């Protein structure tokens, strides 16, 4: 191929991810061109995405460009990448994963001790909101929208005492100075695919798919496959109050999951650990334990 056209959103983080993909392709001797596409999710700025279809709104127009062959590959934050996608498309590659934890973001000059029992904390995620209520029941949890820079600015301006963001995005954008603490996976289970970059392509574009295999992280792929298998079995979406995280250490994989009803009336949390070669089977077993506890009913409520 003369030049691989890379479709992406135009946010600072999305462009970082597209440029990371471009550098990986360059390292193999391929040229690339970044094509910025404005998505429905980018146009809806001040209202909860759940009212309009959830995080899938961040991929719809980019996928249409893939189908129309105006781009060759699409780069997404994997946690925004739906389970159900057009039949003609496939997840061709997953790049090396960043820190999966959620981070506590404060003003640069503040420390965690500045947070009181009644702090105003922002998040746009039901998954984070409901787990925060378990950890910090007296915090006032407020809705939050905007890109990483906008959310940090709202803290600096004093509109929130703190906001909760994925540490991966903060680290990729060199904004670690605002990170004042982390929630470990055992405290706040991350979103499916958090910290990973998805590269999508057409199933019939065999040349591109062969190239994408060469830049994939095998470890990240195995972790993501286990997480997305759980999500697929559950039948949830990107807006479901769900956290699933798979972590590989050596030949062992540990999978943690958390699920709440949409009204936070009921919740389930559990984990499983075993041999890496049994990753999908372990994911199935963890889901089955959730199903016995009424998981499908929580998704439907």
The span from the CA of 245 to the CA of 258, in Å, is: 9
CB 193 within 8 A of CB 224: yes
- Active-site positions read 80
Q: How far apart are the first and last CA of the chain?
A: 49
Bridge partner residues of 273 (DSSP)? 254
- Return contacts of 28-34, CB within 8 angstroms, 24+ apart: 28/211, 28/214, 28/215, 30/1, 30/3, 30/4, 30/211, 31/2, 31/3, 31/4, 32/3, 32/4, 32/5, 32/6, 33/3, 33/4, 33/5, 33/6, 34/6, 34/8
- The residue count of the chain comes to 301
Residues 6+ apart with CB under 8 A from 239: 49, 50, 54, 55, 126
CB 13 within 8 A of CB 149: no
| Backbone angles phi and psi of 255, in degrees to 5 | -120, 125
The span from the CA of 114 to the CA of 103, in Å, is: 16
Report residue 170 as tokens: 């903060």
The span from the CA of 169 to the CA of 298, in Å, is: 30
């Amino acid at each position: 191929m003369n030049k691989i056209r890379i479709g992406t959103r135009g946010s600072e983080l999305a462009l970082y991810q597209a440029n990371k993909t471009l550098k990986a392709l360059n390292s193999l001797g391929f040229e690339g061109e970044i094509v910025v596409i404005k998505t429905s999710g980018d146009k809806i700025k001040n209202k909860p995405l759940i009212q309009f279809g959830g995080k899938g709104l961040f991929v719809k127009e980019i996928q249409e460009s893939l189908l129309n062959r105006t781009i060759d590959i699409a780069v997404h934050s994997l946690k925004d990448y739906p389970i159900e996608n057009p039949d003609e498309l496939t997840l061709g590659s997953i790049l090396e994963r960043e820190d999966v934890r959620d981070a506590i973001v404060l003003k640069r000059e503040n420390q965690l001790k500045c947070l009181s029992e009644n702090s105003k904390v922002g998040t746009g995620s039901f998954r984070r909101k409901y787990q925060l209520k378990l950890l910090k029941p007296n915090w006032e949890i407020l809705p939050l929208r905007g890109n990483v820079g906008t959310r940090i600015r709202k803290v600096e301006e004093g509109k929130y005492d703190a906001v909760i963001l994925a540490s991966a995005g903060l680290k990729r954008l060199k904004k670690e100075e605002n990170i004042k603490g982390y929630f470990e996976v055992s405290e706040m289970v991350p979103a499916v695919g958090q910290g990973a970059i998805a590269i999508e392509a057409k199933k019939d574009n065999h040349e591109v798919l062969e190239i994408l295999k060469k830049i994939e992280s095998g470890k990240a792929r195995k972790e993501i496959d286990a997480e997305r298998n759980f999500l697929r079995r559950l039948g949830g979406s990107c807006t479901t109050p769900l956290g699933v995280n798979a972590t590989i250490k050596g030949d062992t994989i540990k999978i943690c999951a958390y699920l709440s009803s949409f009204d936070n009336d009921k919740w389930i949390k559990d984990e499983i650990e075993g041999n890496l070669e049994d990753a999908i089977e372990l994911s199935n077993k963890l889901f089955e334990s959730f199903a016995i506890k009424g998981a499908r009913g929580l998704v439907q409520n």
